[in-house]
Amino acid sequence: MSTDAEIRAALISALDWQVELGADEAIAEHPVDRFAATAPQAQPDAPTKPSAQIMTAAAGVQSVDAGHGPKAGDPAKRAMQRDVSTAPPPPPESPAPESATLAAQAQTLEDLAEKLQAWDGSPLKETARNFVFCDGLPGAHLIVVGEAPGQEEDRQGKPFVGRAGQLLDRMLAAIGLDRTSDDPARAAYITNILPWRPAGNRTPTPDEAAQFLPFVIRHIQLAQPKIILAMGNTPTKALLQTTTGIKRMRGQWVDHTVTGLPLLPSFHPAYLLRQPADKKLAWHDLIAVRRALDGENPT
Ligand code: URA
C-alpha cells in the first residue's frame, strides 16, 4: 500500500518526466479524472506488452520503453493511463443552426456579447479563462478580424494584446489608425472568429470556425464598419467560405456578399513575426486598406 507521500513523489516524478518529453500545457479540452481511470486487467494468456502507451500534451500518444517511464503498477502510471471512456465527448452534432438563430436575435453589440458568452454550443468555453469579444471603437470604418485569442488575450480578455497584437498596432499606426481613437475614421474595431482560446493555442478547426461564423457575421453587421481586414487563414477561409489558403488570397479585394462589404485578406501578424520577409506584402495590403478608407473603390 503506497503512502500519500509516495503517491505524491511518484506523481511529481511522472510530471517531470512528461516535461522532459515536451508536454508544455497542463490542460486538455476536457478535465479527466485520472484517479477514476482503472488500469486494464492483464489477460492471463495475453502476451506481455514491451512498451507502455503514454499520452503527452505535446507529443500525442507515444510508445515509450517501459524501462524509462513509471514502473507498471505505479500510482503515477495508473494516473496517466488514458481511459477512452473519459475521452472528450464529440462536439454537439448540429450547433450551427442554434448559433445562427441566437446571433440573428441580437440587436446590439452588448446583446450579441451576452448571447455569445452564454452560448454552450462549443466545448472551447470550458478550457478558456476569459471571453474575448472585441476591442476598439464600434463604428470604426475598419474592422480587423483575427483568428482566436492567444495566451495573453485569454488572460486579459481582449483581442490582440500579445506580441502579434503589438505588431498589429504598429501596422495600424503606419496607416494612421489607432484602436484607442474615438474618431471612427482614425480608429479600428478588432475581433476574432473565436471568442475562446483553444487549449494549447492550436489553430481552430474549420468546424469550430463554422460554429462561430453566424456570431461573427452579426458582429460585423452591428459594428457597422466600411471595410473588413481578414488577418490570416482562419478568418479568410471562414468569412469567404473557401479552402484556398491565405498566400493565394491575400492582397485581393473580395466583395463579401453576406455583409455587402469589401474584404481584404492579408497575413496574420503572428505569421509576419515568423516570416518577416513577407512584411513587404503586408505593407502593400495596408496601403490598399488606406486607399479604400480614403474613398478609393477597392473592388
Ligand atoms: N491572434 C489572433 O488571431 N487573435 C488574437 O486576438 C490574438 C492573436
Tens digit of each residue's pLDDT (9 = 90 or more) over 195-214: 999 999 999 999 999 999 99
Give the range among 52-61, 151-160, 204-213, 227-236 with minimum mean pLDDT.
52-61
Average pLDDT over residues 220-240: 98
Give the range among 30-44, 104-118, 256-270 with minimum mean pLDDT.
30-44
Average pLDDT over residues 70-90: 44
Question: 262 Cβ partners below 8 Å, 6+ apart?
Answer: 227, 228, 253, 254, 255, 256, 292, 298, 299
Instruction: Choose one of 131, 171, 192 to mutate for the ligand 1 pocket test, by most ligand atoms within 8 angstroms of C-beta.
Output: 192
Q: Which three cell numbers stand for residue 136?
A: 476598439
Nearest CA-CA partner of 206 in 230, 234, 229, 231: 234
Q: How far is the CA of 149 from the centre of ligand 1 (A)?
A: 5
Give the DSSP letter string of 280-298.
HHHHHHHHHHHHHHTT---
For residue 106, give the H/E element and its range: none
Q: Which three cell numbers stand for residue 284?
A: 502593400
State the pTM of this model. 0.72
- Ligand 1 site residues (CB inside 6 A) read 146-150, 153, 159-160, 162, 164-165, 192, 270
Instruction: Choose one of 124, 133, 143, 153 to mutate for the ligand 1 pocket test, by most ligand atoms within 8 angstroms of C-beta.
Output: 153
Starting at the edge strand found earlier in the chain, the sheet holding 261-266 runs 135-136, 189-192, 142-146, 227-231, 261-266, 254-256
Question: 168 Cβ partners below 8 Å, 6+ apart?
Answer: 144, 146, 160, 190, 231, 269
Chain CA centroid to CA 151, Å: 10
